[in-house]
Amino acid sequence: MNKRIIVKVLGYILLILALGMVIPLLIAISKQQYDVMPFVLSIGITAFTGAGMSQIPIKGKTKIKTRDGLAIVTLGWLLASAFGALPFYISGSIPSYVDAFFETVSGFTTTGATIINDIEVLPMGILFWRSFTHWIGGMGILVVAVAILPMMGTGGFHVFKAESPGPVADRIVPRIKDTAKILYATYIIISFAEFILLLIGGMTPFESAVHTFATLGTGGFSTRNASIGGFNNAYIYIVISVFMMLSGTNFSLYYDVYKGKWRDVLRNSELKFYVGIIVATVLAITINMNMDLYHNWFESFQHAFFQVTSIITTTGYTSFDYEQWTTFSKAILFMLMFVGGSAGSTGGSIKVVRILALIKLVRREFTRILHPRSVVAVKLNNQAVPENVLLNIASFFMLYILIFVFGTMLISLEGISMLSAGSAVAATLGNIGPGFDFVGPTNTYSEFSNAGKLLLSFFMLLGRLELFTVLALFSPKFWKQ
């Protein structure tokens, strides 16, 4: 393991983070609010530390290997969260550093779980930074480093692979640096489109920007205590629902659309399954809720579509207090917490492609029982999935469920109900944000102990970095030469 190059890359990440804080600083200056100096101090501390780390001399080979990539990604996210919490803490917007760290991890991992009980009293610079962390973390903190740092070279693929959501990290084009640039270009174009549409819907430029960051990053931080429900605007509900759905789609498909490969996109197995789940669950909740709570079919559909896309893409926005829904509809939302968005999207949780592969794997085993000598391949997009990838998917699913069960037991020590503990773990591990009961859409995570908040922060990082990337660092073999 090349510790020097790891420290050097981490230094550059902190410099990029400091640069990202300049935008909310400018907003704070323009509004002349109390968060100006806290941002100045935060930028200074982050930039000074990053500059010192980036100047470390490198001896010998500079190539980044697999273990280096895993260490850079995990430690990079921890450092970004630790330093990204400074504006919240120094400004006094969040007096406790543990709370500030929780909020920042929630931002970068695009979870959207919050400990802030009154969001609307925060200064605009802090609100902007809070949602901007979603936009940075959605595509990946390290992806921008891969795109702009020459020193990453071919070793950048190990970093890209460790940070990318899904069982396989695909290169859109042969060079990983160009792949990172294409992904960010797509990200920016879709962000701009949503920003304009939200402006048309009556949001201010500030509100449009903040909610675009949170939607495209599938994070869920808002400027209103009532989340998107605070706007009470059907147009805004529909626009954000559509863009949440787009953000939960594999971003490489947008490049295929650009290249004119429409047939490949329409035939994509994961996309069809993803859309199918949304359509089926929206219809089920629409029918169920129209008979019980809402006044007409449109209102029922509008809230069902919004909440389903919000949960399956792990955004965590709310248009209505879904705790008032029927048990059937809430059960659907709880199950969607374990599905998540597509691989290669900004969504979290298990991912649609893994669920689809597992279903096909189970079906193959049924076929083998009936026909023991048959050779049946598990196919996605008409291509056989390699056995090692299927093993990875099955291992990931099993590990995910084990962490969920064990985590629920630990969080239950907080003295809350099993539903509250289970949904808190599911919501943080799946990077969703709100859960049920104690952590429902009208509540926050502020009542958890510091130990509970740190544990839930760990679950957020585990979920965003797909378990193995983080857990690998806990293996003694990882640190041996």
- Element at 383 (helix H, strand E): strand 383-384
Q: CA-CA distances (angstroms) from residue 188 to 52, 185, 194, 404?
A: 31, 5, 10, 34
Q: What is the number of residues in the chain?
A: 481
How much is the pLDDT for 70?
A: 81
pLDDT digit string, tens, across residues 177-235: 677 778 878 889 999 999 999 999 999 999 999 999 999 999 989 999 989 988 989 99
CA of residue 172 relative to chain centroid, distance: 21
CA distance 191 to 383: 33
> For 10-29, how does the pLDDT look when each residue is reduced to its tens digit (9 = 90+)?
898 899 999 999 999 999 99
pLDDT of residue 251: 85
Query: Which tens digit of pLDDT belongs to each residue from 292-331?
Result: 666 778 888 888 999 999 999 999 999 888 888 989 999 9
Taking 80 as the threshold, does the pLDDT of residue 473 lie above it?
Answer: yes
Separation between Cα atoms, residue 36 and residue 24, nearest integer Å: 9
DSSP state of 47: H
pLDDT at 480: 72
**Residue pLDDT, tens place only, 110-146:** 999 999 999 999 999 999 999 999 998 887 776 665 6
- pLDDT at residue 86 tops 90: yes
The SS3 call for residue 380 is: strand
| pLDDT the model gives residue 173 | 53
Tell how strand 379-380 and strand 383-384 pair up: antiparallel
Q: What's residue 158's pLDDT? A: 52
**Percentage of residues of the chain with pLDDT beyond 90:** 53
Distance CA 377, CA 453 (A): 44
Q: Which of 392, 407, 406, 385 is nearest to 468 (CA)?
A: 392
DSSP secondary structure code for residue 318 in this structure? -
pLDDT over threshold 90, residue 436: yes
pLDDT given for residue 284 in this prediction: 93
Q: What is the pLDDT of residues 392-426, one digit of tens each?
A: 889 999 999 999 999 999 999 999 999 999 999 99
The label of the residue with tokens 């990440």 reads 13
Above 80 in pLDDT, residue 163?
Answer: no
- Cα separation, 281 vs 271, in Å, equals 16
Q: Which residue has the tokens 């200056």?
A: 29
Residue-level pLDDT at 241? 94
428 vs 164 pLDDT, higher one: 428
b/e per residue, 178-206, with b = 16+ CB within 10 A?
ebbbbbbebbeebbeebbebbeebebeee
Residue 6: the pLDDT is: 84
Crossing angle of helices 297-312/234-247, nearest 10°?
A: 30
DSSP sequence for 170-192: --SSSSHHHHHHHHHHHHHHHHH
Average pLDDT over all residues of the chain = 87
Secondary structure class of 384 (helix, strand, coil): strand
What does the domain layout of the chain look like in residue ranges? 3-247
Q: Is the pTM of this model over 0.85?
A: yes
CA dihedral 355, 345, 405, 391 (to 10 degrees): 50
Confidence band for 87, pLDDT divided at 50, 70 and 90 = very high
Is residue 111 a contact partner of residue 348, using CB atoms and an 8 Å limit? Answer: yes
How does pLDDT run across 367-399, given as a tens digit for each residue? 888 888 777 888 888 888 888 888 988 999 999
Per-residue pLDDT of 316-325, as tens digits, reads 999 888 888 9
Q: Which residues contact 112 (CB under 8 A, 6 or more apart)?
A: 106, 134, 214, 219, 220, 221, 315, 316, 317, 431, 432, 433, 434
pLDDT, position 154: 47
Query: Quick one: which of 188, 159, 201 has its CA closest to 176?
Result: 159
Q: What is the DSSP letter of 376?
A: -
CB atoms within 10 A of CB 108: 27
CA distance 320 to 338: 21
251-276 pLDDT, tens digit per residue, is 888 888 888 888 888 888 999 999 99
